[in-house]
């Protein structure tokens, strides 16, 4: 029985506008949690889902994977949350263990039929999801700007702190300074990196990146970005983060890091953060002769129960300026297709969110 009536933005057909419609949700069972959403981020990953360019997308389905809310009900096996708790929703499981089975998804009802909802969704006024994807958060902090922590921050800041483990004084280049890219920059600043070089094709986004710690900016549409990065870092950056994952930007990121010195040190590290888009070609001599490394970062190599409280702590201390990162706020789920259009058109600096009244 579907005891909670709600509304969701439904992906019913690929490459078509989402349909905002009523859905039904059951009471939480076992390890499930029912959450009333306060806010959700609008992420590029959802564009990939809408256009079916990543595997595993179900239709009809509900997407979105970062948000904040309040716990309405909990299942009998939930131990870390209770009714009334403010919480954060994320696609990264909170306490994944070796050999543990994947947390099961839930169901929703739409137009009289039952459909699988997947592990996490946030483009809805309510969400019924497994406790693995819900973490408690302080009840006295913003529920709007913190709604981006569950993806943009964990992916960007996490890539710096968890995957790359950047140290004070190391040089960092960030290719692509959208919602994830500015989180990489913010993380690099917290880590004490210097210089921090932002690379993009849009001057307004490059100027915006300075607010989060970029010490230098490069517009790759009119400048040889790799050459300029090498000039600014005395031969190449210690780390280059590809926040786009494109067939041009990934080779650029590897070319932009320094070569190693035989008997002295290894070369720099290129970190692919953005969702890959097609194949790319890299001259393989960079690996043996430059001792460079090309690695991927998935969810910032994060452990949410450890890392998310640290992100909130940095936010409370003013070191992680989430409020500045959110530049566009839509106040109704009915605005979802406009939010998707604006993101796809490159009109959003930082991150946009949707709040629920």
141-198 pLDDT, tens digit per residue, is 988 999 999 999 999 999 999 999 999 999 999 999 999 999 999 999 999 999 999 9
CA distance 301 to 311: 14
DSSP 154: H
Q: pLDDT tens for residues 329-343?
A: 999 999 999 999 999
Q: 198 near 209, Cβ under 8 Å? A: yes
SS3 349: coil
What percentage of the chain exceeds 70 in pLDDT?
Answer: 97
DSSP 196: E
| Alpha-carbon dihedral 53, 59, 64, 70, rounded to 10 degrees | -160
Task: For the chain, list the domains and their CATH numbers.
Answer: 4-140+321-355 (3.90.180.10), 152-299 (3.40.50.720)
Q: pLDDT tens for residues 59-106?
A: 999 999 999 999 999 999 999 999 999 999 999 988 765 555 556 779
Nearest to 83 by CA among 132, 136, 44: 136
pLDDT at 260 over 60: yes
Predicted TM-score (pTM) of this structure: 0.93
SS3 328: strand
Whether residue 60 has a cis bond before it, omega within 30° of 0: yes
């Amino acid at each position: 029985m579907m005891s909670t009536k709600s509304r969701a933005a439904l992906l019913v057909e690929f490459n078509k506008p989402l349909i905002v419609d009523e859905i039904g949700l059951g009471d939480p069972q076992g390890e499930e949690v029912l959450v009333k959403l306060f806010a959700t981020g609008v992420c590029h990953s959802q564009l990939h889902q809408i256009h079916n360019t990543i595997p595993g997308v179900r239709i009809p389905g509900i997407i979105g994977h970062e948000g904040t809310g309040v716990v309405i009900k909990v299942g009998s096996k939930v131990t870390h949350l209770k009714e009334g708790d403010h919480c954060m929703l994320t696609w990264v499981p909170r306490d994944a263990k070796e050999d543990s089975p994947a947390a099961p998804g839930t169901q929703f009802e739409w137009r009289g039929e039952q459909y699988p909802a997947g592990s996490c969704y946030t483009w809805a006024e309510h969400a019924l999801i497994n406790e693995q994807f819900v973490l408690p958060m302080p009840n006295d902090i913003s529920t709007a700007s913190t709604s981006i922590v569950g993806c943009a921050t964990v992916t960007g800041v996490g890539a710096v702190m968890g995957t790359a483990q950047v140290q004070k004084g190391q040089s960092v280049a960030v290719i692509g300074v959208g919602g994830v890219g500015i989180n990489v920059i913010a993380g690099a600043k917290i880590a004490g990196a210097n210089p921090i070089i932002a690379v993009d094709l849009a001057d307004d986004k490059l100027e915006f990146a300075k607010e989060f710690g970029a010490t230098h900016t490069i517009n790759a549409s009119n400048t040889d970005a790799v050459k300029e990065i090498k000039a600014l870092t005395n031969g190449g950056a210690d780390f280059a983060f590809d926040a786009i994952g494109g067939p041009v930007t990934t080779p650029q990121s590897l070319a932009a890091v320094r070569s190693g010195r035989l008997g002295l040190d290894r070369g720099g590290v290129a970190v692919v953060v953005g969702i890959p888009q097609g194949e790319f070609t890299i001259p393989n001599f960079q690996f043996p002769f430059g001792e460079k490394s090309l690695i991927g970062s998935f969810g910032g190599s994060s452990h949410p129960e450890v890392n998310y409280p640290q992100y909130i702590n940095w936010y409370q201390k003013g070191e992680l300026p989430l409020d500045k990162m959110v530049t566009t706020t839509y106040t109704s789920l009915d605005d979802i297709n406009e939010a998707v259009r604006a993101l796809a058109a490159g009109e959003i600096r930082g991150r946009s969110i949707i709040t629920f009244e």
